[in-house]
Structure 1
C-alpha cells in the first residue's frame, strides 16, 4: 500500500473544453476553498474533491457551477 501523501486532499476541475486540472491540498477546508475557486474563477463546469484513504483516492464531493448558484 502506498504511504499517505503530504497533501491528502485533491481537487480536480473539469472544463467545458474536456480538459481537467488537479491541485493537491493539505486539508478539507483548503480543498473546499479550492473547489469553489475553480468553479467561480475558471471555465470549469464541475469539480471533484477526493481524499486519500486506505491507500487510494476516494471521492468526497462533486459540485457543478449550478450547485453554487
Structure 2
C-alpha cells in the first residue's frame, strides 16, 4: 500500500481519489483478514467499490496484485 500511495502521490492524488479497488489474492483464507486490516488503515470511508478475486497465477512471493483507478 505504501508503494501504491507513492504512485498516487506522484500524480498529486491520494487514496481518497481511488474510485475502485480490484485485488487478486493468492491465499484468501490466509490473507483476507490481514488484507482488510491494512486496507482500512489506508482507505477511509466511504470506501471505494472493491472487488476481490482468488487467482492461482498470483505468485506466492507476492500475496496480491492490485488495480486502483483514481480520479481528481
With normalisation by structure 2, the TM-score equals: 0.32
Larger relative contact order (Cα-Cα within 8 Å, sequence gap ≥ 6) = 2
**Hey, which of these two has a bigger chunk of helix by percent?**
2
